Amino acid sequence: MLPFSLLFLIIGVSYALCPSYQCKPRTMPFKDNICVFYDEHTLTYRINPCEDPFQRYCIFNPLQNSTCSVSSKKSLIQKYPGEKCSTDEDCRYPYFGGCTDEICLGSIKDGYCSDSSFCSPGLYCKYNTCISQLQDGDQCTYDYECQNGSGCDGNICKKYFSAKLNEEVNTCKDNVNYICESTLCYTNATTSFSYCITPLARRNKSPECLSDNDCYSRVDRKSGVMLKSECQCGMNPDGKQYCGILPGDVEFMYYIRHLKKWYNSTEVKNCNTLRRDARQCIEEHWDEDEAVKLIFYKERVVNFANIQENDYCAETVLNADFFVLAHKMGHLTVENPHEILGSSQGSVIWLGLSLIFLILN
Ligand SMILES: *[C@@H]1O[C@H](CO)[C@@H](O)[C@H](O)[C@H]1NC(C)=O
Ligand SMILES: *[C@@H]1O[C@H](CO)[C@@H](O)[C@H](O)[C@H]1NC(C)=O
Ligand SMILES: *[C@@H]1O[C@H](CO)[C@@H](O)[C@H](O)[C@H]1NC(C)=O
Ligand SMILES: CC(=O)N[C@H]1CO[C@H](CO)[C@@H](O)[C@@H]1O
């Protein structure tokens, strides 16, 4: 246990190092179009909304001052096949017919490709040729070869989130497999069979933390798997830290339930296979309210620490995109969280949050 305590002692010290994010005092002068002034001595970001209507965007630079600018986008987004456009130049691959009926065309069936981003929706790239995405049950190597809502489990296409609790799966890397309803799995070292396990929520009620040590999940009784998420700095005035969201936390349940709905929609088939969960394609093709919900739920999981207890300036200047979504959510009908927790033993996806998995025996 000793090395562990030492490790956490070091992480614990970093608590004091989380910066504070707050509105600038009214008396403090800001020059040179500065919207965020970084004070490296007190580790404080002092924020001021941009007032010039021609330079209203504040592009945040960590550990530096930030200035107001004309555009919120750092560079032009080039659209994939299946995404909306107004001119040929908007498309990544304008030579496949460009922007036709406001949609970027891609390489057609049996047409040339160097990777799957070249192909029209419904196709993927194999041996430099666009061919139809595989059916469930077909042999595969990568997720993008399988259809819309399906991934490659070992070497077979299966629907995401379709394997129930205790059901066997072919692969289990770092305890994660999207084919499992919970997204979590376990490999029995004796038999080397893998199976799906229950979703694991944070053990502590409050997400606030001082170190990763506060961010353990409960232990799965059957397999002994326990997860730990990272204790992350937020963007609040007090330098508070929050645990990353775990598969099994209610925020995750909301996200996964809605992602399932997207993958089961007819609209997902309008997306290039590599863009199946890209915000761009979801917003352009799905019902507007449904798209707002899915993107809100996802952002809440991904940016959980950053959006907690923001003051007015952090909210409107640094996390405006999220809080605009949150405002729109206020007008939409949303499912009751108890229904979600009750109805699923876990419909959860893995997001690449950095977790440490400990197998207790
Ligand atoms: C931020 O701006 C202030 C005032 O203009 C300046 O004194 C300071 O050096 C700047 N800090 C950084 C990190 O550029
Ligand atoms: C692993 O497999 C062995 C042999 O079937 C079984 O006895 C054991 O309970 C299994 N362990 C877990 C954690 O599933
Ligand atoms: C998927 O869509 C079909 C038809 O629209 C519907 O009957 C089914 O309940 C949906 N499944 C899920 C998991 O949403
Ligand atoms: C989950 C889902 O929507 N699957 C669909 C994928 O695409 C095929 C063919 O277009 C449909 O048959 C599936 O229902």
pLDDT in tens, 282-325: 999 999 999 999 999 999 999 999 999 999 999 999 999 999 99
Atom 8 of ligand 1, nearest CA residue:
65
DSSP character at residue 112: B
CB neighbours of 185 closer than 8 A, spacing ≥ 6? Answer: 169, 172, 175, 176, 177, 194, 195, 196, 197
pLDDT confidence of residue 166? 96
The 3-state DSSP class for residue 214 equals helix
The 3-state DSSP class for residue 47 equals strand
Ligand 1 site, CB within 6 A: 31-32, 37-38, 64-65
For residues 151 and 163, is the Cβ–Cβ distance under 8 A? no
Count of Cβ atoms closer than 10 Å to residue 115 Cβ: 11
> Mind listing the pLDDT tens digit of every residue in the chain (361 residues)?
333 444 444 444 444 589 999 999 988 888 878 999 999 999 999 999 998 888 888 989 999 999 998 876 655 678 999 999 999 999 999 999 899 999 999 999 999 999 999 999 999 999 999 999 999 999 999 999 999 899 999 999 999 999 999 999 999 999 999 999 999 999 999 999 999 999 999 999 999 999 999 999 999 999 999 999 999 999 999 999 999 999 999 999 999 999 999 999 999 999 999 999 999 999 999 999 999 999 999 999 999 999 999 999 999 999 999 999 999 998 787 765 444 443 333 333 233 333 333 333 2
- Ligand 2 centre to CA of 187 (Å) is 10
- Ligand 2 centre to CA of 4 (Å) is 28
pLDDT confidence of residue 72? 66
Angle at the Cα of 166 (from 265 to 344), degrees rounded to 5? 45
Q: Of the candidates 150, 136, 145, which has an alpha carbon nearest to the alpha carbon of residue 179? A: 150
How far is it, in rounded angstroms, from Cα 358 to Cα 361? 10
Ligand that lies nearest to the alpha carbon of residue 192, given by its number in the listed order:
2
User: For residue 196, which amino acid is it?
Assistant: C
* 187, 191, 226, best to mutate for ligand 2 pocket (most atoms within 8 Å of CB): 191
Ligand 2 site, CB within 6 A: 188, 190-191, 223
Please state the atom number of ligand 1 nearest to the C-alpha of residue 37: 1
- Ligand 4 centre to CA of 268 (Å) is 9
Atom 2 of ligand 4, nearest CA residue:
264
Atom 1 of ligand 1, nearest CA residue:
65
Ligand 4 site, CB within 6 A: 147-149, 159, 263-264, 269
Ligand that lies nearest to the alpha carbon of residue 186, given by its number in the listed order:
2
- Ligand 3 centre to CA of 159 (Å) is 12
Q: Of the candidates 109, 149, 128, 354, which has an alpha carbon nearest to the alpha carbon of residue 263? A: 149
- Ligand 3 centre to CA of 264 (Å) is 6
pLDDT confidence of residue 340? 45
Positive or negative torsion for Cα 198, 199, 204, 205: negative
- Ligand 3 centre to CA of 150 (Å) is 14
Torsion of CA 41, 42, 45, 48, to 10 degrees: -100
In angstroms and rounded to an integer, the radius of gyration of the C-alpha atoms of the chain is 23
How far is it, in rounded angstroms, from Cα 274 to Cα 69? 32
The 3-state DSSP class for residue 356 equals strand
288 class by beta-carbon count within 10 Å (0-12 exposed, 13-18 middle, 19+ buried):
exposed
- Ligand 4 centre to CA of 148 (Å) is 7
Partners of 37 in the β-ladder = 46
Q: How far is CA 22 from CA 29, 57, 315, 317, in A?
A: 15, 18, 10, 11
CB neighbours of 127 closer than 8 A, spacing ≥ 6? Answer: none
Q: How are beta strands 57-58 and 66-69 bridged, if at all?
A: antiparallel
Q: Of the candidates 133, 57, 97, which has an alpha carbon nearest to the alpha carbon of residue 318? A: 57
